Amino acid sequence: MDVFVELPTNNLENSAMPFRMSRKLKFWIEVKCELQDLRRADDKEIAAILQVFEQRGDAMRSLNRHGQVVWKATPEMLERLADAEAEADAEDRMRE
């Protein structure tokens, strides 16, 4: 089950909507923005990263039960992340 967070935007007067995304996707957006707090990022930068992630097949958007747009990582991205984590864990066990 995905847990979604809503990110307040920098400039609510000019923003069409806040960004709602799963926590896992939020983490990777933060990595891409090189920030630990997306509230400080520019809304256009977040939107551009989401668009790139969507084009690569790493993110998808849908509507929640309230008709709001939400973003989440695709199953393919989650699988790649799980594989990478398992590989890193295996390497750590080999070093011990």
Strands 4-7 and 69-73: what pairing? Answer: unpaired
In 23-76, where do the E strands start and end? 59-63, 69-73
Q: What is the pLDDT of residue 13?
A: 42
CATH class as words, domain 4-95? mainly alpha
Residue 53 phi, psi dihedral angles, 5° rounding: -60, -40
Name the average pLDDT for the chain: 80
The distance between the two most distant Cα atoms of the chain, rounded to a whole number of Å, is: 54
* Residue extents of the structural domains in the chain: 4-95
Contact 20, 6 (CB under 8 A): yes
What pLDDT digit, counting tens, does each position of 31-57 carry? 888 766 677 777 888 888 999 999 999
- pTM for this structure? 0.69
